[in-house]
Amino acid sequence: MRRTACGRKECAANHHRRTDGRDAELSCRGDPVARARAKKRCRRPQARLPAGFRDYVGSEIRRRRQILQVVAEVFEGFGFDPLETPAIEYLDALGKFLPDVDRPNAGVFAWKEDETWLSLRYDMTAPLARYFAQHRAVLPSPFRRYTFGSVWRNEKPGPGRFRQFTQCDADTVGSGSPAADAEMIALATRILEEIGIRRGGYMVKLNNRKLLDGLLLKIGMPRFAEDPSDEAQRSTVLRAIDKLERLGSQGVRALLGPGRRDESGDFTAGAGLAIDQIDTIMAFLDVTGGGDDVLRDLEVLVAGSDAGAEGLAETEAVMELVRVQGVGPDRCVIDTTVVRGLGYYTGPVFEAELINSEDCEVPRVGSVAGGGRYDGLVQRFTGQRVPATGISLGVDRLLAAELEGQAATESTRGPVVVTIMDRHRLGDYQAMVTELRNADICAELFLGNARNFGRQLKYADARRCSLAVIQGENELRNGTVMIKDLQLGARISATATAAEWKRRAWQQEIPRDRLVAVTRKLLAGQSG
Q: State which of positions 367-426 bind its own copies (CB under 8 A).
A: 380-383, 410, 412, 414-415, 417, 426
Regarding 93 and contact with its own copies (CB under 8 A), the answer is yes
β-pairing, 110-113 vs 507-511, is unpaired
Give me the least distance between CB of 441 and its own copies, in Å please: 8
Give dist(CA 314, CA 307) in Å, integer. 10
Residue in 182, 338, 377, 386 binding its own copies, rule: CB under 8 A: 182
Q: What are the Cα distances from residue 276, in Å, to 111, 147, 281, 349?
A: 46, 45, 9, 27
Per CB under 8 A, 320 contacts its own copies: yes
Q: Quick one: 46 or 249, whose CB is closer to its own copies?
A: 46
Cβ count within 10 A of residue 395: 20
User: Which parts of 303-441 fold into alpha helices (H)?
Assistant: 306-323, 379-382, 395-403, 426-438
61 belongs to the binding site for its own copies (CB under 8 A): yes
CA distance 414 to 463: 5
Burial class, 420, CB count within 10 angstroms (exposed 0-12 / middle 13-18 / buried 19+): buried
Q: Considering the rule CB under 8 A, would residue 263 count as an interface residue with its own copies?
A: no
Q: Binding of its own copies at residue 306 (CB under 8 A)?
A: no
Cβ 221 vs Cβ 233: under 8 Å: yes
CA distance 230 to 222: 7
Q: Measured from the CB atom, is 285 or 442 closer to its own copies?
A: 442
- Site mask, its own copies, residues 137-176, x = CB under 8 A? ---xxx-x-----x-x-x--------xx-------x-xx-
Q: Is 25 in the site for its own copies (CB under 8 A)?
A: no
Binding mask 94-133 for its own copies (x = CB under 8 A): -x---x-----x---xxx-x-xxxx-x--------xxxxx
Instruction: Report if residue 92 touches its own copies, rule: CB under 8 A.
Output: yes
Q: Length of the chain in residues, anyone?
A: 528
Minimum gap (Å) between residue 138 Cβ and its own copies? 9
Q: How far is the CB of 246 from its own copies (least distance, A)?
A: 26
Q: Is 228 helix (H, G, I), strand (E, B) or coil?
A: helix
Dist CA 528 CA 82 (whole Å): 34
Q: Which of 1, 2, 55, 499 binds its own copies (CB under 8 A)?
A: 55
326-345 residues near its own copies, rule: CB under 8 A:
326
Binding mask 437-476 for its own copies (x = CB under 8 A): xx-xxxxxx-xx----------x--xx-------------
Q: Which stretch binds its own copies (CB under 8 A): 16-24, 25-33, 354-362, 516-524?
A: 16-24
H or E, element range at 490: helix 486-495
Q: How many residues bind its own copies (CB under 8 A)?
A: 107
- For residues 21 and 184, give the distance between their C-alpha atoms in angstroms, rounded to a whole number: 50
Amino acid at 318: V
8 Å CB contact between 145 and 83:
yes
209 makes contact with its own copies (CB under 8 A): no
